[in-house]
A = this chain, B = another copy of it.
Amino acid sequence: MPQANGDVWSPVITPFNADLAPHTKRFVSHCQWLHSNGVGLAIFGTNSEANSMSVVEKQALLKALVDGGVDPARVMPGTGACSIDDCVALTQDAVTLGCAGVLMLPPFYYKGVSDEGLFRYFSQVINRIDDSRLRIYLYHIPPVTQVPLSFDLIERLREAFPGIIAGIKDSGGDWAHTQALVERFASDDFAVYAGSERFLLDTLRAGGAGCISATANVNPSAIIDVAQHWQQDDPDERQRRLNVIRDLFEKYPLIPAMKAATAHFSGITDWQRVRPPLVELDDQKASELITLLHEAGFNMEGLDEAKHG
């Protein structure tokens, strides 16, 4: 059953210093800006370059964020890792700090693994945490992990861990798959999120929860507006306008493009920096993107005022 209001989460981009260490103050400021724009903080996602960071770095950023006064009920760290120990350590912190939940990748080194093996992985993590407050949002992103999460696996996990397995993010990029997930699983205690705001309106109409989308880093208020008022004011036109902006960012590698835009609109050039194996946009491409964004009337209002460290 479609909900009146949808929800939007941003896989928060991570600012890095010249030595590639995370810039903690700037990270917290960006999270505060996103939070003030109404989107939840899915820190340590694919777009956060999270797998480039050590568990210790992520634990420190999570603590700084909560210490910085952001409501943990609006924080959903990505905690999945190839290593069970790494996943458990960060998930434990998220539970202890009162986070809304965690977004959990499957272990992604081996390919062609069985549902049984993936079930055992998630079971291990859940049993080690052993806390009824744990909420896991499964992270299906086969274009990157090459390890899809089958419907049978989701069903089995939900049956084994009711209440704990709380939802899924579908970043497969295939609307038919998201739609099938919504039809089969969406309920009051299982949230299906599209992995891009491109499918936001369709997801909400079908009965899904909203989206967890990269470009919520740069276009949060317009996306949350569609999510929260999707039954009013010509939502198709507003969805179309979201897609126009998404299209501009997708002309370029997405993470470097979002960082280039954030650097431009915040006035902090260091925001351009990415960690290897990613590469920042070159000056010409960054300049092209900014021109296209200005022509589209796009900005990131209030970003400079957040000071960003």
Contact = CB atoms under 8 A, between A and B. Distances in A.
A169 to B, nearest CB: 16
A108 B109 CA distance: 8
A44 to B, nearest CB: 12
Interface stretch (A62-70, A80-88, A191-199, A211-219): A80-88
A116 to B, nearest CB: 5
A150 interface: no
A143 to B, nearest CB: 7
Given A20-B84, A108-B109, A111-B144, A279 B116 contact: yes
Contacts of A53: 83, 85
Contacts of A132: none
Contact of A278 (B51, B110, B124): B110
A82 B51 contact: yes
Interface string A109-131: 11101101110110110000000
Number of copies: 2
A147 B51 CA distance: 15
Chain A: interface size category: 35 or more
A284 interface: no
Contacts of A110: 144, 277-278
Contact of A52 (B56, B82, B114): B82
A56 B147 CA distance: 26
A176 to B, nearest CB: 22
A113 B116 CA distance: 31
Contacts of A232: none
A183 interface: no
Max count, chain B CB within 10 A of own CB: residue among A109, A116, A120: A109
Nearest to A105: B109
A105 to B, nearest CB: 9
Contacts of A46: 109
B51 A109 contact: yes
21 contacts: A51-B107, A51-B109, A52-B83, A52-B84, A54-B86, A84-B275, A84-B276, A107-B277, A108-B108, A110-B278, A111-B143, A111-B146, A113-B277, A117-B276, A117-B277, A117-B279, A118-B276, A121-B276, A121-B277, A146-B146, A147-B277
5 cross-chain pairs, A with B, having the tightest CB-CB distances, nearest first:
A117-B277, A121-B276, A120-B276, A51-B109, A51-B82
Interface of A: 20, 46, 51-57, 82-86, 106-111, 113-114, 116-118, 120-121, 123-124, 143-147, 275-279
